[in-house]
Amino acid sequence: MKVSSLAGAVMAITLAATSAVSFAEDQGHGVITFKGAIIDAPCSIAQESQYQTVDMDQIANVALKNGGKSNPTTFKIELRGCELGALKAATATFTGSPASNPDLLALKGTAQGASLAIADHTGALIKLGSASPAQTLSDGNTYLQFNAYLQGDKAGAEGAAAEIVPGDFETFANFTLAYQ
């Protein structure tokens, strides 16, 4: 009986030691996924530009009354490692959920009565679905610069100003580049 008890005790100690080693070997784990795309283009798009958030000002409702506009917020699309050759410029076409004015983006959230406009670096409106004016690029790292602003909506066929309802908003724009 003593041999049987001794064998059982050795087995229990061995199992306990093995379990302790197993726990000690894994002190945290996880998975890292790397994803991206290979594109047929003379420039790579920086990850920070591919998926970016543009923080707009806290805009007073009075600035948007009667179709008013907020101050523009600048944003850019950074291009890296450009080898342009004969190409010297690029355009961007923005798409998304159109507002009642189909040239502008609809807002999602509790804010109402305004839409988001995207403009080129000079401040000229870029209509949704239309290419921006071409911007000159250089080899190496470069960027395209744009502006975004809110504009108060018009309501009804008479063009009366929409009621501006304060609240939070967000909207999304996709972009496609074309090199020239």
pLDDT tens per residue, range 83-103: 999 999 999 999 999 999 999
CA neighbor of 77 nearest in space, from 7, 126, 4: 126
Provide the CB-side half-sphere exposure for 59 (13 A, CA): 30
Q: What is the pLDDT of residues 140-165, one digit of tens each?
A: 999 999 999 999 998 766 667 789 99
Stretch (H or E) spanning 14: helix 2-25
Mean pLDDT of all residues belonging to the chain: 88
User: Is the per-residue pLDDT at 81 higher than 60?
Assistant: yes
For the domain spanning 62-179, the CATH number is 2.60.40.1090
Q: Which amino acid is at 11?
A: M
Task: Give the model's pLDDT for residue 32.
Answer: 87
Question: Contact 164/60 with Cβ under 8 angstroms?
Answer: no
- Tell me what pLDDT residue 1 has: 47
> What pLDDT sits at residue 74?
97
Nearest to 65 by CA among 153, 159, 169: 153
Residue 46 vs residues 79, 144, 173: alpha-carbon distances, Å: 6, 12, 17
Q: Where are the beta strands (DSSP E) in the chain?
A: 44-45, 73-82, 89-96, 105-106, 108-109, 114-120, 135-136, 140-152, 154-155, 160-161, 169-170, 173-179
Could you read off the pLDDT of 32-76 as tens digits, one per residue?
888 888 999 999 999 999 999 999 999 999 999 999 999 999 999
Where along the chain do its domains lie?
A: 62-179
pLDDT tens digit sequence for 5-41:
545 555 555 555 555 555 568 888 999 888 888 999 9
Phi, psi for residue 170 in degrees, rounded to 5:
-155, 160
3-class SS at 109? strand
